Amino acid sequence: MKILETKNITFSYDRKEVLKDINLAVEEADFLGIIGPNGSGKTTLLKMLCRGLKPGQGRVLFKGEDIFKLDTRFVAKNIAMVPQDETIIFPFTVFELVMMGRSPYIDRFSWEKQEDVKIVESAMKLADISRLKDRSIDELSSGERQRVFIARALAQMPKVLLLDEPTSHLDINHQLDILELTKKLNENVKITVVMISHDINLASKYCKRLVLLKNGKIFTEGKAKKVITRKVIKQVYGVDVELIKGKVLL
Amino acid sequence: MNKKYKTYLLSGIILLLVSVMLGIFIGSVAIDPGSALKMLASKIPGIKENISVTWEGSIEDILLKVRIPRVLLALIVGASLSVSGAVFQSLLRNPLADPYLLGVSSGAALGAAIVILTSLPFFFLGIPVVPFSAFAGALLSMFLVYGLAKTKGKLPMHTLLLSGVIINFSFSAVIMLLITISNKGLSEVIVWMMGTLNNTNYELLPYIAPAALILMAVIYMFSNDLNIIAVGEESAVYLGVKTENVKKWLFILNSLLTALAVSISGLIGFVGLIIPHIARMLVGPDHRILIPFSAICGGIFLVLSDTLCRSVISPSEIPTGVVTAILGGPFFLYLLKRKK
């Protein structure tokens, strides 16, 4: 069943058209990678999947319903986004930040319940940040912060997890940790994942399907084997590469 | 709510009570606590029969007509300015933001200056005009800033701040112009712009105090949303907060709260900037505790500052805003240095 769909979405910043007529369908329990050169519209597309941006034209559907017509808290309970690094000014603790992931579930007039605390603790454990619990967010490295945002998204207990370059600030070991974790959630809990990645090789290793964007259009999509070819890389990125066992070598 | 928060709130409330007592007993006429308490107790039905009058009659007037209303006024103004400062800082994600930066205060000042400097009557049907004109000025500047900042149905923070600064400059210029062409009321305008709790009409207290308390209570209901917006507006959308809506309402409620405080006390600076900082250093940035704690700290700070104002060079007075600035300025610099 299609859990997320875009119908002919178009988006422009001022007059510059960033996305043109994108039709994308994400099946339940899919692990979709969005790749493409800088400025190809990857982040814009991802933001539109979670109400972060409103398309100029077209519609975004969650289980067949327009997400801009759904209740904002309902959307937040179902779709979670891990944005690229945000600057945080006030010294919230890691625990407080991850707890914000519970906010779609917490009533305006009440404090968090024992159940929320449990969920937050297990989200922190999954993202391997339990020991940072009481640290202030401004004392953390950017890699640690990234994992805090991932934990916050997990605390939302979403059906769909959107990740905007989740490994960009991480060491190679944490890159793999995060991708393994995402894979586990995808396989065991059947969370649908849509992930932007700069790293074509990591994307093709972990994603079940890839969408390659060029100049705001879908250039090609499908299994990694079909998408990542010498010819396509040359056409989209303009560089000559060698492929060994499906891996790009420069 | 955890234990740490409860301890802070409780000690805050105790300190607040102590400051209120100090504010009541200290002044150009010192009143000994014993007779003051006796006098107050004598006002309570059921007890008064057991208390013999041992105090001078003037004490009763001083306490009931001057000291107590003034201390309560200081408390309300301090709390209002601190809460609105805390909320503006989080809304704008700028720890240096305060009601003054956003032009709300200068609007109020203009409203007051127009009445003081022109030949408009000070009283209309027995009601003092200045607080109302100040309130109208604050509302006007709020709508102007809001209208200028609004682009494509959104309220981007940088245009909001810039509009505030521009309105501030323009309104201050108009006030200066009024001062130049008018030859009366100059010292009153200046004292008002420095901020004072002295020549206020205490009869307004029964209206201002409940209004301010209600506004603060409504703002408090947005605590969870404010926490999330303080982290980032983008994330707030992903977490299901109706960001634009919440921002709009908080901006309006907060401006009203500022307008209320400014309309009765003039421009008392630094309270809305410093107090939320101190509160955040002590209890952290969670608004569910930060808002009530800022209110308490602001109350303590302004009650004590005002007590200082009227007792240092008594029988004359220093404008309250001067004392808060003298105390607040260096403290602010210390905060900035320490952060680095």
Give the mutation candidate from B218, B229, B239, B245 for the A interface (greatest A CB count, under 10 A). Answer: B239
A72 → closest Cβ in B1, B94, B240: B240
| CA atoms within 13 A of residue B19's CA, in its CB half-sphere | 25
How close A183 gets to chain B, by Cα (Å)?
A: 22
pLDDT of residue A131: 95
pLDDT: which is higher, B118 or A23: A23
Contact A92, A140 (CB under 8 A): no
CB–CB of A230/A200 below 8 Å?
no
Contact (CB<8Å) A92/B286: yes
Residue A58's H or E segment, with its range, is strand A57-62
A100 near B CB under 8 A: yes
Q: What are the residue boundaries of the structural domains of chain B, listed by start? A: 3-339
Bridge partners (DSSP) listed for residue A194: A32, A162
User: Would you say residue B340 has pLDDT above 60?
Assistant: no
Interface test with A, best of B235, B246, B247, B280 (most A CBs within 10 A): B235
**How far is it, in rounded angstroms, from Cα B232 to Cα A92?**
12
Whether residues A76 and B224 touch (CB distance < 8 A) is answered with no
Judge if the upstream peptide bond of residue B206 is cis by omega within 30 degrees of 0.
no
CA distance B328 to chain A (A): 21
Beta carbons within 8 Å of A69's beta carbon, 6+ residues apart: none
Q: Is the pLDDT of residue B8 over 60?
A: yes
Residue A250 is predicted with a pLDDT of 66
Is the peptide bond preceding residue B95 cis, with omega within 30 degrees of 0? no
A200 touches chain B (CB under 8 A): no
Helix (H) or strand (E) holding A16: strand A16-27
Chain B interface disruption, residue of A69, A75, A95, A103, most B CBs within 10 A: A103
Using CA atoms, how far apart are residues B171 and B174, in angstroms rounded to an integer? 5
Chain A residues inside the 8 Å CB shell of B284: 91-93, 96
Asked whether residue B35 carries a pLDDT value surpassing 80, the answer given is no
* B94 CB within 8 Å of a chain A CB: yes
Task: Answer whether residue A232 shows pLDDT above 70.
Answer: yes
Sorting pLDDT into bands at 50, 70 and 90, what band is B42? confident
Residue A232: other Cβ atoms inside 10 A: 15
Contact in structure between A22 and A34 (CB atoms under 8 Å): no
Quick: pLDDT tens for A26-52: 999 999 999 999 889 999 999 999 999
**DSSP 8-state assignment for residue A215:** T
Residue B60 is encoded by which pair of tokens? 């009763």
Q: Does the CB of B2 have a partner CB in chain A at under 8 Å?
A: no
Q: What's the per-residue H, E or C state across B186-245?
A: HHHHHHHHHCCCCCCCHHHHHHHHHHHHHHHHHHHCCHHHHHHHHHCHHHHHHCCCCHHH
Average pLDDT of every residue of chain B: 84
Banded pLDDT at B266 (limits 50, 70, 90): confident
Q: What's the DSSP call for residue A70?
A: S
Q: What domains does chain A contain, in order, with CATH numbers?
A: 2-249 (3.40.50.300)
Residue A246 DSSP class = T
- Cβ of residue B221 closer than 8 Å to a chain A Cβ: yes
Instruction: Decide if B85 touches A, using CB distance below 8 A.
Output: no
pTM of the model: 0.87
Rounded average pLDDT over B260-282: 87
Is pLDDT above 90 for B338?
no
Confidence of residue B200 (pLDDT cuts 50, 70, 90): low
Q: What is the ipTM of this complex?
A: 0.89
Q: Give the 3-state secondary structure of residue A205.
A: helix
Interface contact A155, partner B, CB < 8 A: no
A92 contacts in chain B (CB < 8 Å): 227, 230-231, 284-286
Contact at CB, B1 and A111, closer than 8 angstroms: yes
pLDDT for B66 equals 83
Q: Contact B280/A77, CB-based, under 8 Å? A: no
Tokens of A156: 């939302």
CATH placement of domain B3-339: 1.10.3470.10
Q: What band does A68 get if pLDDT is binned at 50, 70 and 90?
A: very high
Comparing C-alpha atoms, which of A150, A213, A224, A181 is closest to residue A11? A213
In this predicted structure, which of A61-65, A184-188, B222-226, B267-271 has the lowest mean pLDDT? B267-271
CB proximity B286 to A under 8 Å: yes
**pLDDT, tens only, A135-191:** 999 899 888 898 999 999 999 999 999 999 998 878 888 889 889 999 999 998 899
| Residue that wins the pLDDT comparison between B126 and A11 | A11
Paired with A163 in beta bridges are A82, A195
Q: At A44, which helix (H) or strand (E)? A: helix A42-48
Task: Please tell me the distance in Å from A97's CA to the nearest CA on chain B.
Answer: 8
Alpha-carbon gap, residue B164 to B101, rounded angstroms: 6
Q: Where residue B310 falls among pLDDT bands split at 50, 70, 90?
A: confident
* CA nearest neighbour of A137 among A123, A151, A118, A125: A151
Contacts of B82 (CB under 8 A, 6+ apart): B271, B272, B275, B276, B279, B294, B295, B297, B298, B299, B301
Using one digit for the tens of pLDDT, what is the confidence trace for B84-103?
Answer: 999 989 988 877 777 777 78
Tokens 């200066």 correspond to what residue? B176
Q: Do B288 and A90 touch (CB under 8 A)?
A: no
Instruction: Say what the pLDDT of residue B109 is.
Output: 84
User: Helix, strand or coil for residue B39?
Assistant: helix
Q: Let me know: does B19 contact B304? Beta carbons within 8 Å.
A: yes
Q: Does the pLDDT of residue B164 top 70, yes or no?
A: yes
Distance separating alpha carbons of residues B216 and B259, to the nearest angstrom: 13
**Interface check A193 vs B, CB under 8 A:** no
Gap between the terminal Cα atoms of chain B: 32
- Tokens matching residue B149: 């900042």
DSSP letters for B262-316 = HHHH----SHHHHHHHHHHHHH-S-HHHHHHHHHHHHHHHHHHHHHHHHHTTTTS
Which residue, B213, B228, B223, B227, is CA-closest to B295? B213
**Gap between the Cα atoms of A153 and A172, Å rounded:** 22
Count Cβ neighbours within 10 Å for each residue of B288-300 and write b for 16 or more, e otherwise: bbbbbbbbbbbbb
Q: Is B187 a residue whose pLDDT tops 80?
A: no
Cα B246 to its chain centre, rounded Å, is 22
pLDDT tens track for B275-298: 998 899 899 999 999 999 999 999
Q: What whole-number distance in Å separates Cα of residue A6 and Cα of residue A54?
A: 12
